[in-house]
């Protein structure tokens, strides 16, 4: 009986987690300062996107660089180009979003 | 143009009839140009601070507030220096009154709770001073964090409903706090902001009681109201301050209000 209860508890937790993940959209925010572009990736409730793949494209959709978010959801890199930069966060399982840093914002952060 | 003039005349007439009804509710207002800032939006908010009758659109003269700031990421920033005076009036007021505006640049993700503590307003009709601690929340870049935090005002409404991204018809639930503690059975006045610039659907209340809706909180100071129209809605919980102020050498009571503003949009 104890074993069954335990199983139910585990099942409940697993189900709640999957429900949470579905309801939560992934976001990326970026800004340029002192020659570096800082990105942070998060779920709406503030949890960090850990180990998410970050892809950086220029205005012609050419991939400039890529990286992985740390435990706080952060990934920083040197300004690769004075251009509109499309920064994509791919957290897997359909959790994908992008943020465009305008050329003027990139230039201002050089 | 002619239709517009007639429409204005109707509105004026309707409100003149209603003016006979004594309970004109004063509301402190803070309305930002947008309550949700996404990456393609203008990141500069125009924040307007007024003291008005929201449904009747009447302005009252507002002197410079004592406190104006924003709470973001657990930190309060004083914005008092950013306030600039402006003038406004309702269609049936023949004189303009002072309100305040400020520009604010959103730079980071998260919730921004703007708050105001006005300078006490002397209301001869009620023989008391009025101080409405007023708040509004703006969400930025998808990070929905901070909206339920206390600012730490003498009295304030804590939203229990996330205060943005609300549809018309949604229920707004909040808790009334006085000195950080819930106010059991607090009376909360609710009004629709007819005054919103560009509002083409001005509501004409068919009778006095429609102007200000009234709900009471439960024993934990928690109240709810379902908002029937798109636009800005104000919630105002009034309490009597323990302190008094002097007017013409006499001690006068102070009505302290906790006011919160939210915006609804139609589903379409």
DSSP string, chain A: -HHHHHHHHHHHHHHHHHHHHHH---EEEEEEETTEEEEEEE-TTS-B-TT-EEEEE-TT--EEEEEE--TTSEEEEE---SS-EEEEEE-STT-EEEEEE-HHHHHHT-
Tens of pLDDT, residues A31-71: 999 999 999 999 999 999 999 999 999 999 999 999 999 99
User: What is the rounded CA–CA span in Å between residue A89 and residue A39?
Assistant: 10
Contact B143 A27 (CB under 8 A): yes
Position of tokens 């994908």?
A: A96
What domains are defined for chain A? 25-108 (2.60.40.10)
CB-based contact B107:B143 (threshold 8 Å): no
Select the residue of B107, B108, B143 nearest A46 (Cβ to Cβ).
B143
Give the phi and the psi of residue B249 in degrees, each rounded to 5. 80, 5
Select the residue of A27, A31, A100 nearest B142 (Cβ to Cβ).
A27
Contact A29 B144 (CB under 8 A): no
Tens of pLDDT, residues B196-218: 666 767 888 999 999 999 999 99
Tokens of A33: 């300062």
The per-residue pLDDT for B197 is 62
Alpha-carbon dihedral sign for residues B79, B80, B82, B85: positive
B196: three-class secondary structure by DSSP:
coil
User: What is the helix (H) or strand (E) element at residue B134, kind and residue range?
Assistant: strand B128-140
Contact list, A30 vs chain B (CB under 8 Å):
none
Contact A27 B141 (CB under 8 A): yes
User: What is the rounded CA–CA span in Å between residue B172 and residue B159?
Assistant: 8
B133 DSSP β-pair partners: B258
Q: Which one of A46, A48, A108 makes the best mutation probe of the B interface by having the most chain B beta carbons within 10 Å?
A: A46
User: What is the rounded CA–CA span in Å between residue B193 and residue B105?
Assistant: 25
Report ipTM (2 d.p.).
0.76
The per-residue pLDDT for B136 is 98
CB-based contact B55:B11 (threshold 8 Å): no
> Which residue is closest to A86 within chain B, CA to CA?
B39
Alpha-carbon dihedral of residues B233, B53, B58, B241, nearest 10 degrees? -130
The per-residue pLDDT for B11 is 57
Tokens of A55: 């892809």
> Which residue is closest to A28 within chain B, CA to CA?
B141
Tens of pLDDT, residues A11-35: 555 444 444 444 568 999 999 999 9
Tokens of B36: 């949700």
Number of neighbouring beta carbons within 10 Å of residue B69: 19
Cβ–Cβ pairs < 8 A, chains A and B: 28
User: What is the rounded CA–CA span in Å between residue B68 and residue B136?
Assistant: 12
User: What is the rounded CA–CA span in Å between residue B188 and residue B217?
Assistant: 7
Q: How far is B178 from chain A (nearest CA, A)?
A: 28
User: What is the rounded CA–CA span in Å between residue B9 and residue B92?
Assistant: 9
- Residuewise pLDDT in 10s, chain B (268 residues): 455 555 555 555 555 545 544 456 899 999 999 999 999 898 999 999 999 999 888 999 999 999 999 999 999 999 999 999 999 998 889 999 999 999 999 999 999 999 999 999 999 999 999 999 999 999 999 999 999 999 999 999 999 999 999 999 999 999 999 999 999 999 999 999 997 666 767 888 999 999 999 999 999 999 999 999 999 999 999 999 999 999 999 999 999 999 999 999 999 8
Indicate whether this model's pTM tops 0.80.
yes
Select the residue of A42, A44, A100 nearest B39 (Cβ to Cβ).
A100
pLDDT mean across residues, chain B = 91
Q: Which pLDDT band, with edges at 50, 70 and 90, does A1 fall under?
A: low
Tens of pLDDT, residues B47-62: 999 999 998 889 999 9
CB-based contact B227:B186 (threshold 8 Å): no
Reduce the secondary structure of B1-38 to three states and give it as a string: CHHHHHHHHHHHHHHHHHCCCCCCCCEEEEEECCCEEC
The per-residue pLDDT for B183 is 98
Q: How far is A9 from chain B (nearest CA, A)?
A: 28
Alpha-carbon dihedral sign for residues B205, B207, B211, B212: negative
The per-residue pLDDT for A11 is 55
């Amino acid at each position: 009986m104890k074993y069954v209860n335990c199983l139910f508890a585990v099942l409940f937790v697993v189900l709640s987690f999957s429900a949470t993940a579905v309801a939560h959209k992934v976001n990326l925010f970026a800004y340029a300062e002192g020659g570096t572009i800082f990105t942070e990736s998060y779920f709406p409730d503030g949890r960090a996107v850990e180990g998410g793949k970050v892809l950086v494209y220029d205005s012609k959709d050419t991939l400039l660089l890529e990286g992985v978010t740390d435990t706080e959801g952060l990934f920083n890199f040197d300004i690769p180009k004075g251009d509109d930069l499309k920064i994509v966060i791919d957290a897997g399982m359909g959790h994908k979003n992008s943020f465009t840093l305008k050329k003027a914002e990139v230039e201002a952060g050089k | 143009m002619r239709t517009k003039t007639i429409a204005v005349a109707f509105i004026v007439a309707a409100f003149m009839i209603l003016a006979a009804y004594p309970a004109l509710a004063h509301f402190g207002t803070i309305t930002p140009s947008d309550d949700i800032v996404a990456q393609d939006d203008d990141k500069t908010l125009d924040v307007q601070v007024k003291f008005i009758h929201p449904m009747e659109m009447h302005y009252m003269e507002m002197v410079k507030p004592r406190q104006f700031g924003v709470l973001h990421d657990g930190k309060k920033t004083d914005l008092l220096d950013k306030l600039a005076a402006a003038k406004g009036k309702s269609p049936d007021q023949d004189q303009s009154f002072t309100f305040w505006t400020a520009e604010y640049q959103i730079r980071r993700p998260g919730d921004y709770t703007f708050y105001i503590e006005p300078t006490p307003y002397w209301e001869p009709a009620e023989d008391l001073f009025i101080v409405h601690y007023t708040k509004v929340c703006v969400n930025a870049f998808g990070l929905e964090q901070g909206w339920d935090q206390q600012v730490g005002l003498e009295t304030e409404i804590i939203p229990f409903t996330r205060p943005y991204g609300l549809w018309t018809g949604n229920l707004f639930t909040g808790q009334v706090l006085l000195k950080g503690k819930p106010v059991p059975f607090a009376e909360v006045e609710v009004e629709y902001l007819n005054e919103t610039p560009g509002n083409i659907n001005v509501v004409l209340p068919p009778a006095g009681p429609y102007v200000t809706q009234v709900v009471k909180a439960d024993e934990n100071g928690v109240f709810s109201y379902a908002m029937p129209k798109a636009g800005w809605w104000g919630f105002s919980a009034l309490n009597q301050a323990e302190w008094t102020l002097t007017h013409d050498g006499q001690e006068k009571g102070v009505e302290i209000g906790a006011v919160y503003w939210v915006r609804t949009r139609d589903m379409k």
